[in-house]
Amino acid sequence: MSDSPQPYRVLARKYRSRSFRELIGQDAMVQTLANAIRRGRLAHAFLMTGVRGVGKTSTARLIAKALNCIGPDGQGGPTIDPCGLCEPCVAIAEGRHIDVVEMDAASHTGVDDVREIIEAVRYAAVSARYKIYIIDEVHMLSKNAFNALLKTLEEPPAHVKFLFATTEVNKVPVTVLSRCQRFDLRRIPADLLATHFANICDKEGVTAEPDALALIAQAAEGSARDGLSILDQAIAHAEMGEERLLVTAVQVRDMLGLSDRGSTRRLFGLLLEGDTAALLEAVRDHYALGVEPLALMRGLLELTHAVTLVKAGRDIASPGQSAEEREALSQWASQLGFAPLHRLWQLLLKGHDEVAGAILPIESCEMALLRVMHAAAMPDPGELARLLREGGPVALPAPGVAPAASSSAPAARLPATFPDLIEAFWQKGKGQLAQELHDCVGVVRYAPPQFDYHPTPQLPSDFTARLLPALRDVTGLSWQVAQSDTPGEPTLLQQEQGKAADARARILETPVVKAAMAAFPDADLDDRLEQWSA
């Protein structure tokens, strides 16, 4: 009778780290442990903390192997590179070593469970160098259990090491933390996860699109175990290609219930434009395709965050980011100010929380987005209070976030053009600033209350500091003013000088003037004639 096939092992178990070299994303911790082992400065208790799936329990088992490894010849000592061949290494890897005790604190929370450990630590290890206790989710121990452990934890016998793991380090008493050497395991970066998953796919004989692996890595949120579970599901969902299973980005999006980035950007654009009918239709289209309302709200939040980072000058380019996405983010960042972006974020975040707990998720999603469209165009509280104090009418702009990016109050209150702004300064008695705006400022972008300019060398260095309060005084609004290295339009003075030069050239080219200049070589053109011609 033929041997029965071995049962399938999920990827998260099959590819659990078996050495510190395989532990991805935790280089700082590995370096610290290597130095401690090499120099013989080993703590008696270690605490590993971090989010789920970053390798806390795996690290504890690796430390147990590192401390008890005796090498293939049986003569080795503690090492950061355990051989994996000696009896202690093999037994610890298989979870059957008598001197390495693993305990789940979630199911052993009481003082009696800890009392068993306290009684056992008095006896030397049976066959290993160190007797090691690995306590997972240690924060689940009761207060009395922690108190019972304190004395032993502070002064354990030389042959005993404690290894704790927890996802909620804030619940571990400070008295315990102070007795441990703490390692904070970081979330694993998405690019490292994607590379790790690609290597696993090669070993499994699976072809995966880079975008598919990027989506899985993003969905894992820094957790290798979560990512491998998703990858396992994606492989099961995949179809056979020409020779191997093929995991595609489309399949992963469908499996996770995610909308693609392009459709999220289109939805974001409709939100900014204030097109109510098109927005509601797009939301229902997403829902019909299987996109969860919560995932839709999250996608819009992520996009708002990305636009804000680009606005702040941060480079967020990634290998999976298309040229269209980079262009869209750059365009929105140039059109929207920080104030409307922050307001958009708060409104979407509130909507996300409402959808998460809603009885009718899709209806709540629609209502939340409609609120975003209308509330984002409202005047901010400070401007509204000022308008009410002055007793003037509060005119509201049309729904949509885009108008809010350029103003928080009726557009009629703001000078429509840059020359209009200079004229308003003259009328308010701010002649010096008006003259500097006229002579020394080239407009890069004028979209009240946003103003980007390129200065001439003659512009005083304190210009922006004097301009901001003057703008507030003249228009009644707070402006966003930025000096730009991008060459803008010529200054109004330069434009006037250019027009005068063109007019002079046209006059000099007329036959009558040419004849007069030929007859009277020392003659010159009267400026009044140039002005009259212009």
**Structural domain for 58, as ranges:** 11-184
Domain boundary among 129, 163, 184: 184
383 belongs to a structural domain: no
What is the edge-to-edge ordering of all strands in the sheet holding 441-447? 441-447, 450-455, 480-483
Domain boundary among 169, 184, 199: 184
Rounded to whole angstroms, the Cα distance separating 86 from 273 reads 67
pLDDT per position as a tens digit, 328-373 = 888 888 888 888 888 889 999 999 999 988 899 899 999 999 988 8
Q: Is residue 366 part of a domain?
A: yes
For 420, other C-beta atoms within 10 Å of its C-beta total: 13
Q: What is the pLDDT of residues 427-471, one digit of tens each?
A: 888 888 888 898 888 988 888 888 888 888 888 888 888 888 888
Residues 442, 303 share a domain: no
Instruction: List pLDDT tens digits, range 220-254.
Output: 888 889 889 999 988 888 877 667 888 888 888 77
Could you tell me the CATH number of the domain that includes residue 237?
Answer: 1.10.8.60
Phi, psi at residue 182, to the nearest 5°? -100, 135
Q: What is the mean pLDDT of residues 499-524?
A: 72
% of the chain with per-residue pLDDT over 70: 84
Q: Answer yes or no: do 33 and 175 share one domain.
A: yes
Reported confidence tier of residue 477, pLDDT bands at 50, 70, 90: confident
* Residue 108's CATH number: 3.40.50.300
Q: Based on the domain organization, do 31 and 63 belong to the same domain?
A: yes
Q: Are residues 470 and 517 in the same domain?
A: no
In a domain, 41, yes or no: yes
Cβ(76)–Cβ(37) below 8 Å: no
CA 482 to chain centre: 25
Is the per-residue pLDDT at 396 higher than 50? no
Q: Into how many domains does the chain fold?
A: 5
Residue 299 included in any domain:
yes
For residues 152 and 272, state if they share a domain: no
pLDDT of amino acid 322:
62
What does the alpha-carbon distance between residue 287 and residue 62 come to, in Å, rounded to a whole number? 46
One domain for residues 40 and 81: yes
Question: 516 and 469 in one domain?
Answer: no
Report the distance separating Cα 418 and Cα 320, nearest Å.
41
Q: Is residue 382 a part of any domain in this protein?
A: no
Look up the CATH number of the domain holding residue 366.
1.20.272.10
62 within a domain of the structure (yes/no): yes
**Residue 276 and residue 261: Cα distance in Å, rounded?**
21
From the list 285, 335, 288, the residue with the least C-alpha distance to 307 is 335
- Strand order, beta sheet including 131-136: 100-104, 131-136, 160-166, 45-49, 181-184
Query: How much helix, strand and coil, in percent to the nearest 5, is found in the chain?
Result: 55, 10, 35
> Do 16 and 81 share a structural domain?
yes
Percent over 90 (pLDDT), the chain: 11
164 & 202 share domain: no
Are residues 177 and 35 part of one domain?
yes
> What would the mean pLDDT of 507-514 be, rounded to a whole number?
72
Query: What number is the average pLDDT over the span 181-198?
Result: 89
Cis peptide before 449 (omega within 30 of 0): yes
Residue 224 located in a structural domain: yes
In our burial notation (b when 16+ CB lie closer than 10 A, e otherwise), range 246-284 reads bbbbebbbebbebbbbebbbbbbbbbbbbbeeebeebbe
Both 432 and 355 in a single domain?
no
Does 509 score more than 80 pLDDT?
Answer: no
In-domain check, residue 388: no
- pLDDT tens, residue by residue, 36-88: 888 888 889 999 998 888 888 888 989 999 999 988 888 888 888 888 889 98
Answer yes or no: pTM beyond 0.85.
no
Q: What is the pLDDT of residue 336?
A: 80
Give me the torsion for CA of 512, 518, 524, 525, rounded to 10°: 20
| Shared-domain flag, residues 169 and 272 | no
| Residue 379 · residue 396 · CB < 8 Å | yes
With bands split at pLDDT 50, 70 and 90, how would you rate the model's confidence at 163?
very high
Give the residue from 184, 201, 218 where a domain finishes.
184
Determine contact, residues 376/404, Cβ cutoff 8 Å: yes
